[in-house]
């Protein structure tokens, strides 16, 4: 079912199928299947035209008012997020014995949330007299996804802990701009989406740490190594409160602002992660906790 979602080009149909796949799995207790491989790239509609980030028009030249411009950009992010979550489910399904069903349950749930977010954005655009596809968009998020197609720890680091965490940073600024523009209805939708994205980042943190434990690696240094290996850049300003709520240690993304006490806590955290990993190996656990 995840493969069907990825192969569907119409955005609203993709969102609907994403929701139906998750509900069918939850209600009928279906097992997690194993896929040979996900589609190399998700199907996309003819519009929007995909361009490089530098070619995205400025608000004044986009042909859309500022609120619709910002909402269109968010809709594009949410559509990509549906595919990112399902690609994670499908691509890493051969490793179910290592990861456990809880991994796939969590990312299918994320995909369901993202489908709802895209639907909200699309409905609000229609209320404003526009639709998704009315201006160009970029494929940056999917290029970042492709970087991590061979490594589950890298996928978790690059997508939830970097790309989705950027959404936590940008959410409050977007809400304030919409309030300043006078569009309180759109601002409330964006605020709701931003609140729910905290849980998505938290899912990424949880499974990244567990994968590190399972493979006997230290989470903080593994995160840094992955970003260097995959040439992923961390950019501020950071929404420290939202990131803390999601469970990302500040030392991972902003070491210069970390206090001595914070560093000591992170060192303790890393030592505990190693101890847990050793205990898991000693007890011959075959699966990660759900």
Name the average pLDDT for the chain: 89
Give residue 32's pLDDT.
85
Of 61, 52, 56, 86, give the one whose Cα is nearest residue 73. 56
Give residue 61's pLDDT.
93
pTM: 0.87
Give residue 142's pLDDT.
83
Local confidence band at 286 (pLDDT 50, 70, 90 cut-offs) = very low
Choice between 41 and 192, residue whose per-residue pLDDT is larger: 192
Q: What is the mean pLDDT of residues 222-234?
A: 94
Give residue 264's pLDDT.
55
Q: Is the bond leading into 206 cis (omega within 30 degrees of zero)?
A: no
Q: What is the DSSP string of 151-195?
A: -HHHHHHHIIIIIIHHHHHHHHHHHHHHHHHT-HHHHHHHHHHHH
Choice between 149 and 103, residue whose per-residue pLDDT is larger: 103
Q: What is the mean pLDDT of residues 20-46?
A: 89
- Which residues contact residue 182 at a Cβ distance below 8 angstroms, ignoring those fewer than 6 apart? none
From the CB of residue 190, how many other CB atoms can be counted at a distance below 10 Å?
27
pLDDT in tens, 60-69: 999 999 999 9
Q: Is the model's pLDDT at 271 over the cut of 90? A: no
Q: Is the model's pLDDT at 283 over the cut of 70? A: no
Q: Is the model's pLDDT at 74 over the cut of 80? A: yes
């Amino acid at each position: 079912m995840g493969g069907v979602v990825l192969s569907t080009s119409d955005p609203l149909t993709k969102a609907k199928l994403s929701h139906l796949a998750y509900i069918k799995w939850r209600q009928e207790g279906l097992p997690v299947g194993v896929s040979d491989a996900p589609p190399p790239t998700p199907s996309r509609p003819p519009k929007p035209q995909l361009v490089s980030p530098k070619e995205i028009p400025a608000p004044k030249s986009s042909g859309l008012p500022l609120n619709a411009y910002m909402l269109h950009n968010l809709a594009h992010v949410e559509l990509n997020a549906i595919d990112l979550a399902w690609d994670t489910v499908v691509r890493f399904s051969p490793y179910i014995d290592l990861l456990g069903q809880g991994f796939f349950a969590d990312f299918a749930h994320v995909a369901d949330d993202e489908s709802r977010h895209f639907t909200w954005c699309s409905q609000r655009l229609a209320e404003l007299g526009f639709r998704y596809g009315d201006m160009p968009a970029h494929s940056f998020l999917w290029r970042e996804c492709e970087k991590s197609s061979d490594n589950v720890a890298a996928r978790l680091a690059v997508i939830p802990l970097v790309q989705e965490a950027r959404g936590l940073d940008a959410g409050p600024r977007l809400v304030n701009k919409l309030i300043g523009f006078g569009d309180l209805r759109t601002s409330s939708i964006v605020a709701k989406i931003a609140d729910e994205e905290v849980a998505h980042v938290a899912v990424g943190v949880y499974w990244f740490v567990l994968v590190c434990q399972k493979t006997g690696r230290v989470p903080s240094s593994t995160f840094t190594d992955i970003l260097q290996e995959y040439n992923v850049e961390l950019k501020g300003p950071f929404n420290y409160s939202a990131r803390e709520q999601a469970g990302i240690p500040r030392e991972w993304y902003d070491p210069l602002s970390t206090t001595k006490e914070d560093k000591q806590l992170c060192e303790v955290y890393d030592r505990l992660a190693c101890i847990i990993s050793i205990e898991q190996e000693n007890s011959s656990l075959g699966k990660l906790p759900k």
